[in-house]
Chain A
Amino acid sequence: MAKNLSTIIIWSENTPGVFFRILWLFRRKMFNIETATVGYTEIPNVTRFTITVSGNGDQVANMCKQVAKLVNVLRVEKVADEKLISRELALAKIQIKGKGEKGEILKIIEHFRAKVLHMTKDTFLVEVTGGEEKIDAFYENMKEYRIIEFVRTGRTALFK
């Protein structure tokens, strides 16, 4: 994942098209979104977006002001990493070749406190959560074996 990411948290009305408007605006202002997670929150009818982008401080600050102008957006904040606890979730399907490999892979899973969600004769389907660096490290370790599929959700975050 790209380094020096800024986290932008957006609260919006849960109306059709809101997602489109927000993502469109980032493109319009020439930002590349690194990750975006969206979901319901503790407030009824309010959707919360956690978006990470790269870009210098002034650009990101202006981007937030642009987003704040969207009519369906209720609040926007660019949040410093220290103020957040953030996590992402990754799923990986790994091929197992023989007994020896199986033990090694299980060790890695244990080390990362990952969970095996599904197992076949020759595959593990694993879930791991954590900060980006942890997920990166997990991926690096698993790369030694054959990764059949790998997905990660991108950052979602709460204020400390």
Chain B
Amino acid sequence: MEQKTKLKTRLKEGEKVQGADIVCECLLRHGVRTIFGYPGGANIPIYDALYKYPELHHILVRHEQGAAHAAEGYAWANGIPGICFATSGPGATNLVTGLADAMLDSVPLVCITGQVPSPLLGTDAFQETDVLGVTLAVTKHNYLVTKAEDIAPSLYEAFYLASHGRPGPVLVDITKDAQTAYAEFHIPLPKKHLEGRVRLQATPKEVEKIVSMLNSAVRPLIIAGHGMLLSGDGKTLLQIAEKQDIPVTLTQLGLSTIPSTHRLFMGMPGMHGNVAANRAPNEADVILAVGMRFHDRVTGNVAKYAQQAKIIHIDIDPSELGKNVKPTLGVVGDAKMVLEQILPKLSKRRNPQWLKRFHQWKREETEKVYKKELHAPHLKSAQVIAEISRQTKNKATIVADVGQNQMYAARYYTFNDYNTHITSGGLGTMGFALPAGMGVKSADSNREVWIVIGDGGIQMTIQELATIVQEKLEVKIALLNNNFLGMVRQWQELFYKGNYSEVKLKNPNFQKLCDGFGIPSLKAKTFKETREAISKARKKRGPFLVEFVVEAEENVFPMIPAGAGIADMIVSPKDK
């Protein structure tokens, strides 16, 4: 993506410069403004060149994993690739978790790592790791560059691949001698075989088939996922839903594609999803699945999933069609573009009977779950999230970590605005939220960012509090402290006879920790304190952490036990 606004490029076509300069020039020309990174021996020439490019704002993280997650948050908020720098060996291996996370959640990243000088490759030199080999499994593609003249072509391809088709992380490993050698700077020509690869639109025949299946459906259901969110906006999806009165469910990574308050929004399917969203697939006659991948956390046991339904599956990645669930009709294309193709051809209709069913399910969940959670006499995580939602008028961006806190965030925040829910869905990486939230804020300072995280997760990347302070990033952190690895404890309580094996945490004093980092904080133990603390956190400029002391042994319900069918959902503890 070339920047449209005026930009002060440094290099002229054909100018002879060092490889490291070419790296910076390519980033600049791709519209990069922010880099998350960490220097070391093998990428020091790139850092030297960076000195000449003040418009490339570098954020010095405290651990390379933080750089990768921050870049993910940045990409998620901005829709363009997030950039990471790391040195060879340990620098590069520290990126691996973040790359794996980005790979599973289709987040575009371009990571540039330094590598030992090419004559030393393969000699087990100081800080040499076979980064190409190590990251093969966790990148969409990767490059080893040993010559300065190959830097620009590799980076152009990396940007192209990261952001086209199904997005993903791309890593470019550049040897130190390639960074220091001189080469002519040339803008590379586009590679033909890369460009022809992505199919965006459905054929007229496919469009006709989708339309006829939907027009004749009696109990239609839409399940939209991250692909829908990534394809630009949720408007077309809503238009289709409204025109045909189709209930819409959004997977965890699809949340915030349409407002949670919309009358046709029926919640999130999945292990801790909503009753309606989980029951509907087994009663629908036609399912329109767009930009989602029938993940095992969504379907439960696939053999017991939507057996009676005709499934239309639209995805930009051809290999997703038929991978987990065999569709009646599989269509390769961009979620929004294909929906735009079918919208004008759909007939108008109403489904009052079918929608009634959803309202029954919703009532059931309200009675059995919501009321209990939200009106409990002692502080529960659900209340904390619902209160954040209320005070932020449903307009904050929620960056959730992993575990119970993540499920509470997804279930109890009311998402009003498009693309305001970010989490680690596919990999479930504890420690994601703190650096990712930092990345979101640095991408878009207008957002009110709330990081929701557990006492376990925050300690996985807690060092990034220092980055937040150094960069003056105004993020608000909701630490849900239950003094347990809550989600694992829940499994042990429900499925392992209550044997709490290694889940109890003796935690540090989080207030003192915050003091040490220079972040103001508060502790809330009651709902009243919660209300006040959130309000204070929002009023105070700069970062703020609130530690909510929530019920130690609370459980997230509903729950579909791992491996069970969606019909075996436990709605509330009594069902078990």
Check A62–B323 contact: CB distance below 8 A. Answer: yes
A residues with a Cβ closer than 8 A to B are: 17, 20-21, 24, 28, 58, 61-62, 65-66, 68-71, 74
Interface-forming stretch among B244-252, B302-310, B314-322? B314-322
Among B140, B157, B318, B322, which residue has its beta carbon within 8 angstroms of that of A58? B322
* Interchain nearest-CB distance for B102 vs A (Å): 16
A28 cross-chain contacts in B, Cβ below 8 A: 137
User: How far apart are the CA atoms of A62 and B293 in the complex, in Å?
Assistant: 14
Check B137–A61 contact: CB distance below 8 A. Answer: no
**Smallest CB gap from B317: residue in A:** A69
B193 cross-chain contacts in A, Cβ below 8 A: 74
Check A71–B141 contact: CB distance below 8 A. Answer: yes
B141 cross-chain contacts in A, Cβ below 8 A: 70-71
**Smallest CB gap from A21: residue in B:** B136
* Interchain nearest-CB distance for B542 vs A (Å): 43
Contact with A along B130-173 (1 / 0, CB 8 A): 00110011001100100000000000010001000000000000
Check B322–A61 contact: CB distance below 8 A. Answer: yes
User: How far apart are the CA atoms of A62 and B321 in the complex, in Å?
Assistant: 8
The answer to whether the Cβ of B194 comes within 8 Å of any Cβ in the partner chain is yes
The answer to whether the Cβ of B359 comes within 8 Å of any Cβ in the partner chain is no
Contact with A along B179-220 (1 / 0, CB 8 A): 000000000000001100000000000000000000000000
User: How far apart are the CA atoms of A17 and B141 in the complex, in Å?
Assistant: 12
Considering only CB atoms and an 8 Å cut-off, how many residues of chain B contact the other chain?
A: 18
Check B319–A62 contact: CB distance below 8 A. Answer: yes
* Interchain nearest-CB distance for A48 vs B (Å): 16
A17 cross-chain contacts in B, Cβ below 8 A: 132, 144
User: How far apart are the CA atoms of A20 and B137 in the complex, in Å?
Assistant: 12
B157 cross-chain contacts in A, Cβ below 8 A: 71
Check A24–B318 contact: CB distance below 8 A. Answer: no
Residue of B136, B319, B322 contacting most chain A CB atoms (<10 Å): B319
A21-B136, A24-B137, A28-B137 as given contacts; A71 in contact with B194, CB under 8 Å: yes
The answer to whether the Cβ of B326 comes within 8 Å of any Cβ in the partner chain is yes
**Smallest CB gap from B332: residue in A:** A65
A/B pair count, beta carbons within 8 Å: 29
- Per CB-CB distance, the 6 closest pairs between chain A and chain B, nearest first, are A65-B319, A71-B141, A65-B318, A66-B319, A62-B323, A74-B193
User: How far apart are the CA atoms of A111 and B141 in the complex, in Å?
Assistant: 50
Q: Beyond the given A62-B319, A62-B322, please list 9 additional residue pairs across the A-B interface where CB-CB is below 8 A.
A: A17-B132, A17-B144, A20-B136, A24-B136, A28-B137, A68-B318, A70-B141, A71-B194, A74-B193
A70 cross-chain contacts in B, Cβ below 8 A: 141
* Interchain nearest-CB distance for A41 vs B (Å): 16
* Interchain nearest-CB distance for A21 vs B (Å): 7
User: How far apart are the CA atoms of A70 and B326 in the complex, in Å?
Assistant: 23
User: How far apart are the CA atoms of A58 and B133 in the complex, in Å?
Assistant: 29
* Interchain nearest-CB distance for A14 vs B (Å): 13
User: How far apart are the CA atoms of A17 and B136 in the complex, in Å?
Assistant: 10
A65 cross-chain contacts in B, Cβ below 8 A: 318-319, 321
**Smallest CB gap from A71: residue in B:** B141
B161 cross-chain contacts in A, Cβ below 8 A: 71
A58 cross-chain contacts in B, Cβ below 8 A: 322, 326
* Interchain nearest-CB distance for B523 vs A (Å): 46
**Smallest CB gap from B324: residue in A:** A62
B132 cross-chain contacts in A, Cβ below 8 A: 17
User: How far apart are the CA atoms of A28 and B140 in the complex, in Å?
Assistant: 14
Chosen A-B contacts, 6 in total, with CB atoms closer than 8 Å, are A58-B322, A62-B322, A65-B318, A65-B321, A68-B319, A69-B317
Among A21, A24, A69, which residue has its beta carbon within 8 angstroms of that of B319? A69
* Interchain nearest-CB distance for A86 vs B (Å): 26
**Smallest CB gap from B137: residue in A:** A28
User: How far apart are the CA atoms of A58 and B318 in the complex, in Å?
Assistant: 13
B137 cross-chain contacts in A, Cβ below 8 A: 24, 28
A62 cross-chain contacts in B, Cβ below 8 A: 319, 322-323
User: How far apart are the CA atoms of A127 and B157 in the complex, in Å?
Assistant: 46
User: How far apart are the CA atoms of A65 and B318 in the complex, in Å?
Assistant: 7
B319 cross-chain contacts in A, Cβ below 8 A: 62, 65-66, 68-69
**Smallest CB gap from A65: residue in B:** B319
User: How far apart are the CA atoms of A28 and B103 in the complex, in Å?
Assistant: 15
**Smallest CB gap from A17: residue in B:** B132
User: How far apart are the CA atoms of A24 and B319 in the complex, in Å?
Assistant: 17
User: How far apart are the CA atoms of A111 and B252 in the complex, in Å?
Assistant: 66
* Interchain nearest-CB distance for B33 vs A (Å): 27
**Smallest CB gap from B161: residue in A:** A71
B133 cross-chain contacts in A, Cβ below 8 A: 20
* Interchain nearest-CB distance for B182 vs A (Å): 24
User: How far apart are the CA atoms of A130 and B317 in the complex, in Å?
Assistant: 39
B326 cross-chain contacts in A, Cβ below 8 A: 58
* Interchain nearest-CB distance for B110 vs A (Å): 14
Contact with A along B510-551 (1 / 0, CB 8 A): 000000000000000000000000000000000000000000
